[in-house]
Amino acid sequence: MAKTSLFSNKELNVLPTAVNDSAAFIERLTPDMGISEPVYRQLQKQIIQMIQTGELNNGDSLPSERTLAEALKLSRTTIRRCYDELRGQDYISTHGRAGVMVKAPPRITPEIGKLKGFTEEMQEIGVVPSTRVLEHRILSDRTIASVFNRPSTAKFLKLVRLRLGDDNPMSREVAWYDLTLAPELANWNIQGSAYEFIQKQCGLSLSHADQTIEAAMSNTEEILALGFNEPIPCLLLKRKTYTSTGLMVEYVEGTFRGDAYTYRITLRLNEQS
């Protein structure tokens, strides 16, 4: 699903309790000695939750190992283990005298209602998009053919991509393109926007897309691609994109990390007659 946060929680009218001072942060840490889970792991999960909910922001300072150990009456070994785990997951970094700093992904808040790809979304909000291609194949697939209403022998371009914003993994995306409708995609170099290529190089006019958004936990492949050690809450987007003639050219399933993506929609009252 890390640079300075692009959109604050205030802008989204969501105001979690700030924990970016040591006293408030320490108060939120509540290890339970009566359960079997190691204390360092409990602390690790609680800190991750604060980062994912926006209570801790990119660049916030955390107490030193010694300070936190004394405040919680724990050993420094326990705190060091917790910080080492967080550092390994890229949630924190250490900067000499500056101490321990939070590393949170940018909070992306694209507006719902416009047909645009990941590249366009990132560029519009000033984030540099990039892509790592994890799989690139041309193949036939019965299940996908039925989605496109094509014969089982029809050929499709399958792309599995890791999408990044400012070099931070944001989503893992599995996309299928209909080569019967857009055969030029077989020679696409996977650079830039797929929508731009479809319209300019394939000569197709895109009309609209049907998209659903649902909550999901990341699976094994997504955990590995996004750089986590355990499942995390994500947003699962499924999109079918159509041409102006009503034919589906693209089917995408994208898993976006829940700690970095918030979709925004403007609701308007119906005009009174």
CA angle 238, 206, 186 (to 5 degrees): 80
In this structure, what token pair is assigned to residue 56? 């801790």
DSSP 187: G
Q: In percent, how much of the chain has pLDDT > 70?
A: 88
Most confidently modeled range among 9-13, 16-20, 248-252 = 248-252
Q: In percent, how much of the chain has pLDDT > 90?
A: 56
Residue 8 has pLDDT above 60, yes or no: no
Structure confidence by residue, pLDDT tens digits, 203-221: 999 999 999 999 999 999 9
Residue 236 has pLDDT above 90, yes or no: yes
Grade residue 136 by pLDDT with cuts at 50, 70 and 90: very high
Grade residue 4 by pLDDT with cuts at 50, 70 and 90: very low
Distance, CA of 226 to CA of 38 (rounded, Å)? 25
The residue ranking higher by pLDDT, 197 or 104, is 197
Question: Residue 3: its pLDDT value, please?
Answer: 36
pTM exceeds 0.95: no
Phi and psi at 161, nearest 5°, equal: -130, 145
The residue ranking higher by pLDDT, 11 or 115, is 115
Phi and psi at 205, nearest 5°, equal: -100, 120
Residue 21 has pLDDT above 50, yes or no: yes
Question: Residue 266: its pLDDT value, please?
Answer: 79
Residue 16 has pLDDT above 50, yes or no: no
Question: Residue 111: its pLDDT value, please?
Answer: 67
Distance, CA of 44 to CA of 90 (rounded, Å)? 12
Can you spell out the DSSP letters for 205-221?
-EEEEEEEEEEEE--HH
For range 244-262, the mean pLDDT: 90
Judged by DSSP in three states, 153 sits in coil
* Residues composing the chain: 273
The whole-chain average pLDDT of the chain stands at 85
Q: Which of 18-27, 57-66, 106-115 has the lowest mean pLDDT?
A: 106-115
Grade residue 137 by pLDDT with cuts at 50, 70 and 90: very high
Burial category of 115 from C-beta neighbours within 10 Å (exposed 0-12, middle 13-18, buried 19 and up): middle
Determine which helix (DSSP H) or strand (DSSP E) holds 195, and give its type and residue range: helix 194-200
For range 149-158, the mean pLDDT: 97
Judged by DSSP in three states, 203 sits in coil
Please say whether the beta carbons of 134 and 89 come within 8 A.
Answer: no
For range 70-77, the mean pLDDT: 94
Structure confidence by residue, pLDDT tens digits, 188-201: 999 888 999 999 99
DSSP 81: H
Question: Residue 110: its pLDDT value, please?
Answer: 67
Looking at this protein, which amino acid is placed at residue 219? N
For range 91-118, the mean pLDDT: 77
In this structure, what token pair is assigned to residue 48? 């991750």
Nearest to 41 by CA among 6, 76, 85, 94: 85
Distance, CA of 263 to CA of 125 (rounded, Å)? 13
Please say whether the beta carbons of 228 and 217 come within 8 A.
Answer: no
Query: Hey, how many other C-beta atoms are within 10 angstroms of the C-beta on 247?
Result: 15
Distance, CA of 75 to CA of 82 (rounded, Å)? 11
Question: Residue 49: its pLDDT value, please?
Answer: 85
For range 29-57, the mean pLDDT: 90
